[in-house]
Amino acid sequence: MFAGGAVTFLLLRGEGRVKDNRLLPAGFDQAAALQAAIAPVGVNADLDFVGGGDEVHCRLGVSDAARPLTVEVEFLYQPLTPRWAAELFTSATPEALGFQVMYESADRTPERIGAASVVVR
């Protein structure tokens, strides 16, 4: 999202979307009735961005690394980032402060949704 040309993560400051990185629920049908209102944005070139999963490709510059090299990746889901929460709490509204109490007492451990490992020889 952009606000005055700068990237932002706050919806209220956004002027547009670059790419929607939501994890779509399994069974999400982009041809459904409300598709235009709820469809992910900026994913047209990502053909495997579907309900229930997505395939992610990573390129690592490891040409100078000693072999064999083990690359391990872990995918974590966190519904509310600490950065977003901190920005919300600066508003100091009664609602934000009430939410802050709940947020700070909650288990905010990210959920592990996937992992992969590969040995590069």
101 versus 56: the higher-pLDDT residue is: 101
CA-to-CA distance for 48 and 51, rounded, in angstroms? Answer: 9
CA-to-CA distance for 2 and 19, rounded, in angstroms? Answer: 11
Identify whether residues 61 and 115 lie together within a single domain.
Answer: yes
User: What phi-psi label fits residue 67: left (phi over 0), alpha (psi between -120 and 50 degrees) or beta?
Assistant: beta
Ordered DSSP codes for 8-24: ---GGG-S--S-----P
Helices and strands of the chain, counted as H and E runs: 3, 4
pLDDT per residue as tens digits for the range 85-105: 998 899 899 999 999 999 999
Question: What pLDDT was estimated at residue 9?
Answer: 65
Its domain, for residue 38, covers 1-55
CA-to-CA distance for 84 and 57, rounded, in angstroms? Answer: 26
Identify whether residues 63 and 117 lie together within a single domain.
Answer: yes
Identify whether residues 91 and 79 lie together within a single domain.
Answer: yes
49 versus 117: the higher-pLDDT residue is: 117
Q: How confident is the model at residue 11 (pLDDT cuts 50, 70, 90)?
A: low
Identify whether residues 64 and 117 lie together within a single domain.
Answer: yes
Identify whether residues 46 and 4 lie together within a single domain.
Answer: yes
Q: Where are the alpha helices (DSSP H) in the chain?
A: 35-38, 82-89, 94-105
Identify whether residues 71 and 51 lie together within a single domain.
Answer: no
Instruction: Identify the CA nearest to 38 among candidates 47, 30, 46.
Output: 30
Identify whether residues 60 and 119 lie together within a single domain.
Answer: yes
51 versus 108: the higher-pLDDT residue is: 108
Among residues 55, 74, 93, the one where a domain terminates is 55
Detail the DSSP E strand segments found in 14-110: 69-77
Identify whether residues 74 and 98 lie together within a single domain.
Answer: yes
Secondary structure letter of residue 80 according to DSSP: S
